Structure 1
Amino acid sequence: MTTQVRTLRAAEWDGWYAKLERAFGGVPESSEERGLFRDLTEVDRSLGVWDGTEVVGTAGAFSFRVTVPGGASAPAAGVTMVSVQATHRRRGLLTEMMRHQLDDVRRRAEPLAILTASEPVIYGRFGYGVATRQATLQVETERVALTLPEGTDDVRLRIVPPAEAVADCERVYARLVAGRPGMLARQPGWERLPVLDPPGDREGSGELLCVLAEVAGEVRGYARYAVKPEWGGSGPEGTVQLRDMEALDPVVRAALWRYLLSIDLTSSLVSHNRPLDDPLLHMVSDLRRCGVRVREGLFLRPVEVGAALAGRTYAAPVDVVLDVRDAFCPWNEGRWRLSGDAKGASCERTTDAADLALSVRELGAAYLGDTPLSALAAAGRVTELRSGALSEASAAFGSDITPWLPHGF
């Protein structure tokens, strides 16, 4: 077999994307969704593998900026649209595309690569660690009461067409980005994703709705949702399907949750992506009725270890030498001295004795503050070489705000 990996040409996009759809089950996307991702595709960052004239592999990347601990926004390659046709599996094509892609990310001086995975088992071997997690909620709304802060009744709520509320919602979202590691600064065009609502994709639910929350005439929160009506033997059993919800303060957040959990003719609310520290979990009368399940969210890989670790701040003073293993990106191999605190950091090559030994995958898992290095050490994935170094580094890498990726790509 002779295959060729090269950059996609714009005129090839339709055939390339059709092979991606086939790899993910073969059900064509709606014209609306297809059109959105055609517009968002960065052709010069998209790869294809050709076997003769046939596309047998795809991979792409978006040019993102992701919030890191301390509030800075770091350049990150958002790896996406990765597939290999079933006829060409186990031939090294994915590895070849990952090689091309990470070399290109390095050339672009992006210190981080990020992705969401359809199959989480795949990406650890390429140095990606689970950097954020997310909660799925299935709330039995008729059996849960809320503790509400004073002022909740003063919030004005109004339903508006989602497309007409995009600017208001984006202003709220933009004010929140710097406050939580893992959030993406929304690039032009991405504001269309949260309001995508092809009728053929609703699976029995109604149209997408948007409720705005206002205080003194200012929009300070929003929720986008649909209702799936259902009826049982004893009456209505509809489900509120929450797509996303953001708020600038606890009072507005409470008003939105109260609204969502009390919509007529519904008995449950489902959300597939909420942060693990969602305040709702501390407002409800019975957490057991919230059906909380946790799964991985964002995978992250330091592409340039020095730049990545110097690009964030640290929750406690830290001065440690890290012995990093990275077989796939060997330029990261070796010892690095990380020195930093809440004001800034540096990370440089050193010949000093190492304090901790770990792979780049563990650095990715700990980078945003989601997974303590101490937990990874307990799993045998980090080795302490100097007594006390693990506790020092684990505390420093932590984040007071739980990292979270609010939407996929």
Structure 2
Amino acid sequence: MTTTDVRVLRPDDWDRWFSNLELAFGGREAEEEREFDRSVTECERSIGVWDGDEVVATAGAFSFRLSVPGGALVPAAGVTMVSVAPTHRRRGLLTAMMRRQLDDIRALGEPLALLTASEPAIYGRFGYGAATQQLMADIQSSLVRLQLPPGTEEIRLRLAKPADVLEQCEAVYAQSVAARPGMLARQPGWERQGVLDPPEDRGGAGALQCVVAERGGETVGYARYHNKAQWQPGAVPEGTVILRDLEALDPAAYGALWQFLFDIDLTSTVKVRNRPADDAWLHLVSDIRRCAVRLRDGLYLRPVEVGAALEARTYATDVDVVLDVTDSFCPWNEGRWRLTGGPKGASCVRTEDPAELALSVRELGSAYLGGTALTALAAAGRVRELREGALAEASAAFAAPVLPWLPHGF
């Protein structure tokens, strides 16, 4: 067993630290992406495990604010850049980094920790639960028609270079954040992620393009996309529009942008890689069976401070329930908590009253944003009802009017 040393990342060590991460994920990033990652790395929140002069494990965190039910933007640590060198696996390095991170997050007063999992099986044991889903689809746009919302014809669309309209697009995104749980209020510099476009990452598609939706001279929506040309024998065009991201402030702008994507010349498919599971286009298309819709896990969330986390959001219905929470990795969360709240706010405090629902912090993480019902978790044996009626009451209260969604990774 070699001697290892856990250290806070020094800026001068970033290249060596990040190279270990790249090795773990299978190769070097494009220079444009690498430069972006360097610019947003918070070295004071990043750690490395060193074996002599060699970096053998990495982990970092971003200082985010996460939209939660009720519209509040809650401080949250975005756990990121986690890797362990293949030569140092099964030595407890990941557990040591997770321990260090969660202690630091608690000390900073952030009630939530977030991550996107390269391997979902890893993080459940550290209390992270799958809290959002992302919708993917391959829409046969040459065969599917859209029933557009009223007012779509009033929207003016114009093409622009993505970097030239970045400020306007970012303003639209910022107005959308509070309306959907799971979205991140982007910190300065993060807007650049949306226009990164290294040629080696396009998979044969063309350069990133942007279409802007305007009404009365004001930007009310945008879509960023790639166009991938393809021809079948006999010179039959069969290209693909690859949607990167789309935001709109009202149904008319939203419908106009989707119609534009469907109508791009020489294409027959719109490929969707990350949209909300309840995205409105699902109700605009004429034939959902020609859209090849599928879901996958998105954001993973864990309450770091159960009381503060549950107080930070509102609840769809009035609720008064005693939760018996288990959390072996963060034992300060263990025990009974009385959650009292409703649409206007909530309190969550320690109590000696009898427990009414029993669950682990992982289930709380899955249910926190309203995307996973407590009743579904109970049906899987992961939540136990200890007072008749408590499960239905709590599950209804935790629901959100729209499904949560993480629009981009970190």
Q: Is the deviation greater in 144-153 or in 121-130?
A: 144-153
Show the counterpart of 1:346: 347
- Distance in 2, matches of 1:151 and 1:399, equals 28
Q: What secondary structure, in the 3-state scheme, does the structure 2 residue paired with 1:141 have?
A: coil
Amino acid at match of 2:396: A
TM-score, with normalisation over the residues of structure 1? 0.99
Number of residue pairs matched by the alignment: 408
1-side partners of 2:188 and 2:149: how far apart? 36
- Which residue does 1:145 correspond to in 2? 145
- C-alpha distance in 2, partners of 1:150/1:342? 31
Residue of structure 2 equivalent to 1:317: 318
**What is the CA distance between 1:2 and its match in structure 2?**
1.2
- The aligned counterpart of 1:372 is 373
Distance in 2 (CA, whole Å) between partners of 1:182 and 1:201 is 26
Q: Kindly indicate whether residue 240 of structure 2 is the aligned counterpart of residue 246 of structure 1.
A: no
Runs of 4+, deviation exceeding 6 Å: none
| Paired AA for residue 49 in structure 2 | V
Q: Distance in 2 between matches of 1:150 and 1:407?
A: 30
Question: Are 2:8 and 1:10 equivalent residues in the alignment?
Answer: no
1:133 maps to what in 2? 133
SS in 1 for 2:338: strand
Match of 2:233 in 1: 233
Does residue 38 of structure 2 align to residue 38 of structure 1? yes
Q: CA deviation at 1:330?
A: 0.2
Provide the rounded CA distance (Å) in 1 between the counterparts of 2:147 and 2:48.
Answer: 53
3-state secondary structure, aligned to 1:44: helix
Distance in 2 between the 1:108 and 1:85 partners?
Answer: 28
Residues 195-204 or 295-304, more deviating: 195-204
1:86-111 superposed Cα distances (whole Å, 9 cap, x missing partner)? 11111111000000000000000000
1:178 and 1:400 mapped to 2: Cα distance? 12
What is the match of residue 65 of structure 2?
A: 65
| In structure 2, distance between residues paired with 1:372 and 1:59 | 31
Q: Which amino acid aligns with 1:114?
A: L
Residues 184-209 of structure 1: per-residue CA shift (max 9 Å, x gap): 00100000000001122222111100
Secondary structure of 1:347 counterpart: strand
Please say if 1:203 is aligned against 2:203: yes
Aligned to 1:99: 99
Deviations 1:366-396 (A, max 9, x none): 0000000000000000000000000000000
Q: Secondary structure at the match of 2:120?
A: coil
Shift in Å at residue 17 of structure 1?
A: 0.3
Aligned to 1:184: 184
- Structure 1 position 145, deviation (Å): 0.5
Quote the Cα distance in structure 2 between the aligned partners of 1:295 and 1:64. 23
Aligned to 1:74: 74
Q: What is aligned with 1:111?
A: 111
- One-letter code aligned to 2:107: R
Q: Deviations over 1:249-289 (max 9, x none)?
A: 11111100000011001110112100011110000001011
Q: What is the alpha-carbon distance in structure 2 between the residues aligned to residue 378 and residue 202 of structure 1?
A: 42
Matched to 1:98, the amino acid is: M
Partner of 2:259: 258
Distance, in Å, in 2 between the alignment partners of 1:6 and 1:381 is 37
Tell me, which stretches of 5 or more residues in structure 1 are unaligned? none
The residue that corresponds to 1:297 in the other structure is: 298
Give the distance between the partners of 1:365 and 1:390, measured in 2 at CA: 15
Q: CA deviation at 1:153?
A: 1.7
Structure 2 distance, partners of 1:160, 1:100, is: 45
Equivalent-residue separation in structure 2 for 1:311 and 1:332 (angstroms) = 16
- Report Cα offsets for 1:161-192 as digits up to 9, x if no partner: 00001011011001111100000001000000
Cα RMSD between the aligned structures? 0.7
- 1:152-191 matches, within 5 Å, as 152-191=152-191
Tell me how far 1:150 sits from its aligned partner.
2.4
State the identity as a percent.
Answer: 66
SS at match of 1:301: strand
Distance of 1:328 and 1:203 partners within structure 2: 41
Q: Once the two structures are superposed, what CA deviation does each residue of 1:324-350 show, in whole Å capped at 9, x if it has no partner? A: 000000000000000000001000000
SS in 2 for 1:35: helix
Q: Residue 23 of structure 1 aligns to which amino acid in structure 2?
A: A
Read off the aligned partner of 2:320 and give its amino acid letter.
D
Which runs of 5 or more residues in structure 2 are unaligned?
Answer: none
Separation in 2, partners of 1:310, 1:164? 41
Query: 1:49 Cα shift?
Result: 0.6
